[in-house]
Amino acid sequence: MKKSIFILAFICLGFINQSNAQGCVAIRTVGGLCTMEHAGMHQEDSSKWTLNINYRYFKSYKHFNGTDEQKFRVEEGSEVINYTSAMDFAITRNVNEKWMVGVSIPLVNYERTSKYEHLGNTSPYRFATSARGLGDMRISAYRWLIAPDANKKGNLMAGLGIKLPTGNYKAQDEFQYQANARRIGYVDQSIQPGDGGFGVTVELNGFRQINTNWSAYANAFYLFNPRDNNGVSTTRGGTASASAIKYTSNVMSVADQYMLRSGLNYSHQAWAYSLGLRYECIPTYDLIGKSTGFRRPGNILSAEPGITYMYKKYNFFLYTPVALRRERPQSYADILRTNDTGVFARGDAAFADYSINLGMSFRF
């Protein structure tokens, strides 16, 4: 096996957890094929297939309005807590030295505990809702812009994919709306396994070997979600208010999302270490189509240390992005309300301090 550099290809980028204002992370799992692969996968290796399995976990509970943390939420016990576990199974096929195709299948398990969705924030009791199952799958094609054998010190890989609405976007659970009464309603947008829209993904992944041990990497990913909203009620089994209908927040939006990463890798023998920055975002406005409906736009900048161990045709990796900056900007509904009333409006969003990304890949 030749000297290792990190070529950018398959740790599942997808982990995309949608930004949701009472318990969210900036990006939702749609499945993905991207980032970080050992150079040996394209050198002197006859393997045609790669199986990548990635597990992601985080707990979001710290509320932000703009970039200001609402510390009182935790202090008074009114914070919303989301527990997110997601497993991505991605398989790719090398068609030739330049082309690859792949399919990514995410399985998710979401749990959300809160007071405000049930008896209210003044209640001493916290209740849980959950959703689990298949997420939104993705089918993608990738092409090295330079033949790998022509330039082993650096390259760019472009990707184009289709995101399928295979995840349930109408998951329901029970809500305790009175002391002795429950009702069935759609769970919060942040724990819906899918978003209900067909999407298009574009990617650009690059690497540059600096010397024998050091290399640099960069990734860019964007999911276009042209669908406006999916029509799913946000009332948790209740009745939408006139205000919610007026500002379109009575139904769930289908939002774009994107991620940027860059950093350095140091490799020695079977081990590789990386440190970089990771930026994840749900924007207020989609690039294609309208942006009505309820969404919690948000962005998070993280420091992302990682470690990979390479053994024959196996790679084992661990990445732990740690939040440096979190922001919840105005949503489309917030802007409509502000323009209508003349009073600045902006909801909040809960973010995680860090996430754990653990996995392995196998070439065969």
pLDDT in tens, the chain (364 residues): 343 334 433 333 333 333 333 345 445 554 444 444 433 334 456 789 999 999 999 999 999 999 999 999 999 999 999 999 999 999 999 999 899 999 999 999 999 999 999 999 999 999 999 999 999 999 999 999 987 776 678 899 999 999 999 999 999 999 999 999 999 999 999 999 999 999 999 999 999 999 999 999 999 999 999 999 999 999 999 999 999 999 999 999 999 999 999 999 999 999 999 999 999 999 999 999 999 999 999 999 999 999 999 999 999 999 999 999 999 999 999 999 999 999 999 999 999 999 999 999 999 9
Q: Which distant-in-sequence residues (6+ apart) come within 8 Å of 334 by Cβ?
A: 345, 346, 347
pTM listed for this prediction: 0.90
Amino acid at site 103: V
CA angle 204, 353, 202 (to 5 degrees): 15
pLDDT of residue 13: 39
Q: Is residue 233 part of a domain?
A: yes
Q: Domain count for the chain, please give it.
A: 1
* The pLDDT of residue 103: 96
Instruction: Count other Cβ atoms within 10 Å, centred on residue 84.
Output: 25
In a domain, 290, yes or no: yes
Instruction: Give the C-alpha separation, 106 to 268, whole Å.
Output: 32
8-19 burial string, b = 16+ CB within 10 Å, else e? bbbbbbbbbbbb
CATH code of the domain covering residue 106:
2.40.128.130
The SS3 assignment for 283 reads: coil
pLDDT at residue 149, rounded to an integer: 72
Distance, in Å, from the CA atom of 155 to the CA atom of 173, rounded to the nearest integer, reads 48
Tell which residue, 45, 64, 61, has the closest CA to residue 7: 45
End-to-end CA distance of the chain: 15
Q: Are 248 and 336 in contact (CB under 8 A)?
A: yes
Only one residue has tokens 């070997």, namely 209
Would you state the structure tokens that stand for residue 202, as one six-digit string?
């574009």
Contact (Cβ atoms closer than 8 angstroms) between residue 142 and residue 155:
no
Tokens for 270, please give them: 């079977």
- With respect to residue 1, please indicate whether it lies within any of the assigned structural domains: no
Q: Is residue 167 part of a domain?
A: yes
What is the spatial distance between Cα 333 and Cα 336, in angstroms, rounded to a whole number?
5
In degrees rounded to 5, what are phi and psi of residue 73? -60, -45
Q: How far apart are CA 354 and CA 302, in angstroms?
A: 8
How is residue 153 annotated by DSSP? T
Residue 190 and residue 282 in contact, taking contact as beta carbons nearer than 8 Å: no
C-alpha closest to that of 122 among 78, 80, 152, 166: 78
29 found inside a domain: yes
Range of the domain at 120: 6-363
Does residue 172 lie in a domain region?
Answer: yes
- CB neighbour burial string for 52-82, b if at least 16 within 10 angstroms, e if fewer: bebbbbbbbbbbbeeeeebeebeeeebbbbb
Structure tokens at 61: 């509970």
Q: Is 209 part of a structural domain of the chain?
A: yes
Closest CA to 197 of 233, 234, 164: 164
Question: Is 220 inside a domain boundary?
Answer: yes
